[in-house]
Structure 1
Amino acid sequence: MQEKRAAVLGAGISGLATAFYLRKNGFEVAVYEKFDRPGGQLQSNREKDYLLDKGTIAAIETTSLIPGLVEELKLDDDFIYAGEKANLKQAWIGGKLYDLSMNPENLFKFPLFTIRSKFRFLIEPFIPRSMKNARMAVADFIRRRLGDEFLNYIIEPFATEVYAGDPEKLSIEAAYPKLFKLEQEYGSIIKGFRKARFNSEKKDELSGSGKLFTFRQGMDQLTVSLSKSLGYRVNYLHDILKIEEDGSGGYTLTVNRKGDIRKEKFDVVVSALPAYVLGDTVRELSAGLATAVESVEYVPLTQVYVAFLKKDLELSPRG
């Protein structure tokens, strides 16, 4: 039986991982990447004694597939988990560092919460649960259950760190599914946390979404290794101009490589392109899809790297 052909658009971490597993499952794979290197936004550079990760400095082990992939790529010796200090988050508020915690058990210990907010926490268990399919924003959900101060002092710093996003636009079900699940299951976030403490299965589920990890040579060690494992199947400097249906249940890609334009046929096409790039590519295939993906908002993000001598710091960050 002839192998099915699969095209993966984009050689970032999503595209490369998809191609890796498609190949494992019997597909003949071709990855197309516009630039001359793998990794997309995920790049690692050495500047003298400093390792600078662009895109992300670490990732969260949310699934057992991650250590499995690391083992298959023989990266075990370079796979590094963060220490316990990484679990402590701090925010600079009003000229002072404060420890942050999303655990309701610590709500009354946070010094910036007013009496009004603390009273709000006491009545949270009596606020009716949200409608299941309400598509509520993080800000609306938290404001309704725990008030503005919890939103401003706790949720916003976490949302900025993890998503670089606006809580007024982020979906509670997508961004903080565990909080939403607690509310839906127990009718209260605080009540849910308390009950979960005595349920070992629930406790493990709520203890965090996984360990924080990185690689000895930087985060792009993973994407570089994935691209090497795929070898000739990763096609660099290939720009996808158009995706069309071929009339037989498959798809035809129009590909541009340095002015050499050709068409390639595939049974399956998986896009790992940014939504704003994909729109033009699929417009002839589906105008509705093009409009939908182009409506996806991207948050601009700038990374600044600063190094200090420890002895010169007046404060001692612990996180």
Structure 2
Amino acid sequence: MTRVVVIGGGISGLSTAWLLGERARAMGKTLDIRLLEQEGRAGGKIRSVREDGFLCEWGPNGFLDNKPQTLDLCVGLGITDRLHKSNDNARKRYIFTGGELHRLPENGPSFLKSRLLSWPGKLRLLAEPFAAPPPVGVDETLAAFGRRRLGDEALRKLIAPMASGIFAGDPETMSLASCFPRIAELEREYGGLFKAMVALARKKKQERAEGKVSSSAAGPGGTLTSFREGIQFLTDTLAAQLGERLVTGCTVSRVEWNGSAWIIKTSDGMLFSADLVIMAAPAYAAATMLEALDQPLADLLRAIPYATLNVICCGFETRGLGHQLDGFGFLVPKEEGRTVLGTLWDSSMFEERAPQGRALLRSMAGGACRPELLALPEEQLLQLVRDDLRVSMGISAVPCFSRVIRHGRAIPQYVAGHGQRLEAIEERAGRHRGLLLTGNAFRGVGLNDCVASSQAVVERALAQL
């Protein structure tokens, strides 16, 4: 029987192991699959914890339904009836700048009325069709792209907060092509973002007229979707369906090739042999496991940086709170000098995230630009977050619930040169038949991205087998 070992029990490893088993069974193949995870539980940074009636997400709080990957996975798992879409409040997104919250404009008239950008900033934005073309042979940073096409004010107040909200990253170092490949593709194809928006709007209008697209109340990029139990329900379901194929509390120390099979050694002396190994661990962890096998490959993996992140959950009594919380939440430009990167109004988006008469706010702090916040004492960090909530939202009440969650290496950073590094990683890994890599360190950090990467690596695995 063909033996497969998947290393790393986050969403990437879980979906890879499960999808591989399903695809093999459909093809009439029999595989002996083992998924090894060092923690005592599977799921990685996906964790939904209910405390005092508040449901706190340690990592992502859902996925967008405008892409099929995670939805298809839910269909296969038989859990689509448990999906829970965010309500219409999620359409309303804000930026805190100049001492107040500004709703992100959703159309031309609201853009002109908005005070988020100054009139010079708006005029510069309208000049986007006449921007210089992208530099040739350069992995342009997100900041350079923003200044070139949209201007410095739009970069500071729109692009940079978006980058921190998704990647907790620094736009001055982030690769546009690796972090936002669709934007780079639209510029190449249409010659500019406004031209692309007009062309795509015409295409969508035509598809609606032909009955190919149904209108929806989705917010930017689709509707945020989770489960009433929290997004951990997805990873728990994967773990339950994998059953005995999942081995937790198993720390892999080395991965070696003995000439006829892969040998996976654990820190407690256990040995697993395999015909195929799929690494779904974080890049830095995979580097340690592969050092004895291929030092250059390990060095390339270790060169992928990670940003820190603090997640601060605060529960409040809604009576006398002083804010309606009728939205997704807000992001904060770096120039504002605040502690938080942004705050999500979780109980406004999803029901049952807080007890009746209470609200749950989840703030993010740290990231690539503020790694020192990870070392702050919990009480000090919580006070800084409370100060930000007071300044941005007028909330001076003492939280009736609080929880601080620390992630020392939270989100991989796709800095300039990431594409070249990926090519080098794939070339080195390709020298070892039966060794495959997947995870969020390579081609997307979102939940949909991780599942898409799992689908791709499963097809490569089946081709090798």
Please give the TM-score of this superposition, normalised by the length of structure 2.
Answer: 0.63
Aligned to 2:182: 178
Q: Deviations over 1:168-222 (max 9, x none)?
A: 2222123223322221111111121122211128997xx9544311111111111
Once residues 86 and 237 of structure 2 are traced to their aligned partners in structure 1, the CA distance between those partners, rounded to angstroms, is 21
Offset of 1:101 from its aligned partner?
4.5
Aligned to 2:167: 163
Give, as a single letter, the amino acid of the residue that structure 1 aligns with 2:245.
Answer: R
> Does residue 261 of structure 2 align to residue 253 of structure 1?
no
Give, as a single letter, the amino acid of the residue that structure 1 aligns with 2:125.
Answer: F
Q: Choose 226-235 or 113-122, whichever is displaced more.
A: 113-122
Once residues 203 and 299 of structure 2 are traced to their aligned partners in structure 1, the CA distance between those partners, rounded to angstroms, is 46
Contact 2:63 2:70 (8 Å CA) reproduced: no
> Does residue 291 of structure 2 align to residue 283 of structure 1?
yes
Once residues 90 and 225 of structure 2 are traced to their aligned partners in structure 1, the CA distance between those partners, rounded to angstroms, is 10
Aligned to 1:268: 276
Contact 1:104 1:193 (8 Å CA) reproduced: no
Contact 1:7 1:269 (8 Å CA) reproduced: yes
Aligned to 2:322: 314
Aligned to 1:143: 147
Contact 1:12 1:40 (8 Å CA) reproduced: yes
Once residues 254 and 243 of structure 1 are traced to their aligned partners in structure 2, the CA distance between those partners, rounded to angstroms, is 6
Offset of 1:252 from its aligned partner?
1.4
Once residues 308 and 152 of structure 1 are traced to their aligned partners in structure 2, the CA distance between those partners, rounded to angstroms, is 31
Aligned length: 312
Give, as a single letter, the amino acid of the residue that structure 2 aligns with 1:92.
Answer: F
Contact 1:196 1:202 (8 Å CA) reproduced: no
Once residues 274 and 110 of structure 2 are traced to their aligned partners in structure 1, the CA distance between those partners, rounded to angstroms, is 54
Q: Secondary structure at the match of 2:306?
A: coil
Report 1:36-55 matches (<5 A).
36-55=40-59
Aligned to 1:128: 132
Once residues 314 and 243 of structure 1 are traced to their aligned partners in structure 2, the CA distance between those partners, rounded to angstroms, is 56
Q: Secondary structure at the match of 1:174?
A: helix
> Does residue 15 of structure 2 align to residue 13 of structure 1?
no
Q: Deviations over 1:297-316 (max 9, x none)?
A: 11100011112233323233
Percentage of pairs with the same residue: 29
Contact 2:40 2:249 (8 Å CA) reproduced: yes
Aligned to 2:61: 57
Report 1:282-301 matches (<5 A).
282-301=290-309
Aligned to 2:426: none
Aligned to 1:223: 235
> Does residue 157 of structure 2 align to residue 153 of structure 1?
yes
> Does residue 39 of structure 2 align to residue 28 of structure 1?
no
- RMSD, matched Cα: 2.4
Q: Which runs of 5+ in 2 are unaligned?
A: 25-30, 214-218, 328-465
Offset of 1:318 from its aligned partner?
2.7
Give, as a single letter, the amino acid of the residue that structure 1 aligns with 2:19.
Answer: Y
Divergent runs of 4+, >6 A: 102-105, 201-204
Q: Choose 28-37 or 59-68, whichever is displaced more.
A: 59-68
With over 3 angstroms needed to count, the CA separation of the structure-2 counterparts of 1:157 and 1:274, relative to structure 1, is same
Please give the TM-score of this superposition, normalised by the length of structure 1.
Answer: 0.89
Aligned to 1:77: 81
Offset of 1:103 from its aligned partner?
6.8
Offset of 1:275 from its aligned partner?
1.4
